[in-house]
Amino acid sequence: MKVLFVHQNFPGQYLHLARALGASGAHRVVFITQREAAQLPGVQKIVYKAKRAPTRGMHHYLRETEAGVLNAQEVARAALSLKRSGFVPDVMAGHNGWGEIWYLKDVFPTTPLLGYFEFFYRFRGADVGFDPAAPLQFDDAPRVRTKNLGNLLALETVDAGQCPTLWQRSLYPKRYHPLIHVVHEGIDTVTVRPNPEAHLRVPGTDIELKAGDEVVTYVARNLEPYRGFPSFMKSLPALLRRRPNAHVLIVGGDETSYGPRLASGLTFRESLLKELGTEIDLSRVHFLRKLPYHTFLSVLQISSVHAYLTYPLVLSWSMLEAMAAQCLVGRLEHCARHRGDSRRRERVTRRSLRHRTDRGAHDRMPRRSRVISRVARQRPRDDHTALRFADALSASAIQTPSGSRSMRPGVARMHRTAVRRSHRDTVATTLNCNIASHSSGVGLPSLACAASRIFPPLHQTTGNSSRPKDSTARAL
């Protein structure tokens, strides 16, 4: 069959799915993107660029919307070119965040479109206003409301929506909840797994760290307040005093993914190092910047305690990867309870991190730590396994992979449910990819049972019975 993906940062959330479909050799897979680098076997990539930048002087509420329109126009042009060449997809999937999917249904009106919905902006209850150090202005409420123009346009365009977590879906207006199905795109728990033999030579030093050493890890795409970097840094002086043998590995770049940059021009790393001065022992605190993926996995595999802090925002892949690597993940829920008082919140966060790290690194509670770590790995295995996300699109890939462990009774029931549901009038039935050969060989719960949640029958999701239905639409 023919599948069209759209994501400006190829392959984005569709890495595992596009890779599995392309490698099968049984399907034609086309991916429209802005990213020129990277390739996937069996995936045809079409690169586009917006014709121009948003209009200078455009009202600041509307800059992102105009940028989305410019992206959507170019994607529509690429789709029209595909249509003229004879390519009409059986299903389309794309991320809503940059406007790219807005006009796809105008090119392929009868092809089902699955939109990826990651975040609905809120003036209260999410990232805006979470940090008391950044007081809200009246202008923030209408600005945030206007940022959702693209979300609302896409919600009225797609046939079904996908969202990675229940909390992220809860941000969307309730009237759209039946349209949006909560299925995480997954992580590869075959690649990301514990390794008692893991070791890492800290770049630029002679320090060799291995599994079992006292290693505290922190990971973010970029080191910034939205991912709790200042709170983490301010917890380190006391932590280093209490754990004289501990090393701290910090992974992340100096750019800004969320929120404003510092007015001083310094990066947040430079600013905090300047503020903390000699309290940070740089012979034991190591900034690794951005790493190749295999090196990043080694960091997780040698971690004694992994710190994950964030504003109420999208869930990081690194959080689930840390769980899959069986890290002991520091849960800093107290941070949110005291968000109305920045000083108290910071004190509680630092104390909580020191306490949890001290307990995790210490040998007083080895059995409890091992149990927590095993449970942490089981969650992404059960709910967010990447290859099982691909299996969710395959009605024929729900058997236990060859050589796997026998499934638990509850898992077997999930598979039997998947078999029954796979015969319903869903996109999952058409996406009969037979990609069982790409399975991990480990008897984990399959997301195949979620297929009918990701792709419910079209008559339940379109909300528009007047749309034309041809044989493809009926099959889907």
CATH of the domain at 37: 3.40.50.2000
Select from 323, 354, 381 the last residue of a domain.
381
Q: Are residues 182 and 203 in the same domain?
A: no
Q: What is the pLDDT of residue 375?
A: 53
Q: Are residues 136 and 216 in the same domain?
A: no
Select from 186, 219, 245 the last residue of a domain.
186
Q: Are residues 135 and 252 in the same domain?
A: no
Q: Are residues 225 and 156 in the same domain?
A: no
How far, in Å, CA of 37 to CA of 196, rounded? 34
Q: What is the pLDDT of residue 386?
A: 34
Please indicate, yes or no, whether the overall pTM of this predicted structure exceeds 0.85: no
Q: Are residues 150 and 34 in the same domain?
A: yes
Q: What is the pLDDT of residue 411?
A: 31
Would residue 476 count as lying in a domain?
Answer: no
Is pLDDT of 56 > 60?
yes
Is pLDDT of 363 > 50?
no
Q: What is the pLDDT of residue 373?
A: 55
DSSP 65: H
How far, in Å, CA of 340 to CA of 142, rounded? 22
Q: Are residues 154 and 236 in the same domain?
A: no
pLDDT digits (tens, 9 = 90+) for 195-209: 999 999 999 899 999
Show Cβ contacts of residue 132 under 8 Å, excluding neighbours closer than 6 positions: 339, 340, 341, 342, 345
Select from 361, 381, 401 the last residue of a domain.
381
Q: Once rounded to an integer, what is the mean pLDDT over residues 2-15?
A: 96
Q: Where are the alpha helices (DSSP H) in 328-405?
A: 334-337, 342-361, 366-383, 386-391
User: Tokens 């109305």 identify what position?
Assistant: 340
Q: Are residues 162 and 214 in the same domain?
A: no
Q: Are residues 7 and 125 in the same domain?
A: yes
Q: Which two tokens stand for residue 347?
A: 């004190």
Would residue 11 count as lying in a domain?
Answer: yes
Q: What is the pLDDT of residue 218?
A: 95
Q: What is the pLDDT of residue 28?
A: 96
Q: Are residues 166 and 272 in the same domain?
A: no
Average pLDDT in the chain: 76
Is pLDDT of 265 > 60?
yes
Would residue 135 count as lying in a domain?
Answer: yes
Is pLDDT of 387 > 70?
no
Would residue 370 count as lying in a domain?
Answer: yes
Q: Are residues 138 and 231 in the same domain?
A: no
pLDDT digits (tens, 9 = 90+) for 399-446: 223 333 333 333 333 333 332 332 232 222 222 222 222 223 222 222
What one-letter code names the amino acid at 218?
Y
Would residue 333 count as lying in a domain?
Answer: yes
Would residue 375 count as lying in a domain?
Answer: yes
Domain count, the chain: 2
Q: What is the extent of the structural domain holding 50?
A: 2-186
Is pLDDT of 10 > 90?
yes
pLDDT digits (tens, 9 = 90+) for 119-148: 999 998 888 888 877 778 889 999 999 999
Residue 114 CA to chain centroid, in angstroms? 17
How far, in Å, CA of 240 to CA of 236, rounded? 6
Residue 52: C-alpha distances to residues 63, 71, 76, 174 (Å): 13, 10, 16, 36
Would residue 159 count as lying in a domain?
Answer: yes
Residue 389: C-alpha distances to residues 384, 404, 452 (Å): 7, 18, 12
Q: Are residues 143 and 182 in the same domain?
A: yes
Would residue 415 count as lying in a domain?
Answer: no
Residue 99: C-alpha distances to residues 18, 147, 204 (Å): 20, 12, 42
Q: What is the pLDDT of residue 58?
A: 93
How far, in Å, CA of 97 to CA of 137, rounded? 25
Q: Are residues 161 and 224 in the same domain?
A: no
